[in-house]
Amino acid sequence: MKINEITSTAARATREGFGAGLLELGRQNPNVVGLTADLMESLQMQHFQKEFPERFYQCGISEANMMGIAAGLATGGKIPYTGTFANFSTGRVYDQIRQSIAYSHKNVKICASHAGVTLGEDGATHQILEDIGMMRMLPGMVVINPCDFNQTKAATIAIAEHHGPVYLRFGRPSWPIFTAENQKFKIGKALHLVSGEDVTIFATGHLVWTSIEAAKELAAEGISCEVINIHTIKPLDEEAILDSVSKTHAVVVAEEHQRNGGLGDAIANLLVHRLPVPMEYVGVNDSFGESGKPAELLEKYGLGKKDVAWAVKDVLDRKK
């Protein structure tokens, strides 16, 4: 697809996509159950709760207990979807996830909202930026970070078919919708959005749209960017990455996460062994967030379209 053919049709939060997907999935699969730690409406789980009250568990502000309950439900043949903020879904309960879910490969779907700095005004204590790294290091854990409402809805439905633990990450703010409605989501299969010759931009989550916007501006300057949506960070689509990089020989990775431990490190680990090329990260540089408007925080922490454009020009200079 050409870069100018990608447009936004509307704007809705990715957490709303999760809520819509969970409701639809509940109608399809009677084994799906929902759990939340006092954040039902924040994660848009109230629609599922209203239609399936007997399959919904309000655990209160007790996230570690929620993970233990989910592990027990999975042992009994249910498919539990846990819901709370990304910070509480990972940092607060890492031991429970590691010991009770990942170690025994329980079929639990850890659904994490309000990730990254776009959580906004709630500040650094809630804006987790290291969760992808924490989850991708757990053996057997699938890690998914969709880019818009439609893709989040599709991913929510698709992960029920995968047997094993999944970390599904999404966000709070209204965000442009640009992927297809009623799409089929394939775990571990990157989405090739734009073809280009000069540099490959691998992006995930909210920064997929940011990368598209940057690529449009760069195209006006004569720079041809290939843009690939890496919605599944683990397992990584190594074939798609290597195919693109073998053509462009220059890489930018964009993510709303610490530079350490996220998608950038996953791709760097692949390329250093298979195809070393100039590479630049667009991510938070070893810093906690702060309270503020989401758009302003994205700019302050180097996650805006100008930062993607700068990174592209930097790797192209090094490529020469």
By annotation, the residues acting in catalysis are 63
The answer to whether 233 and 262 are in contact (CB under 8 A) is yes
How far apart are the C-alpha atoms of 273 and 192, rounded to whole Å?
Answer: 23
Residue for token digits 């078919």? Answer: 161
The answer to whether 296 and 173 are in contact (CB under 8 A) is no
Q: Of 180, 181, 234, nearest to 204 (Cα)?
A: 234
The CA–CA distances, whole Å, from 85 to 15, 80, 171, 243, 273 equal: 10, 16, 9, 36, 35
Residue 83's H or E segment, with its range, is: strand 79-85
- Which pair of structure tokens corresponds to residue 39? 């954040």
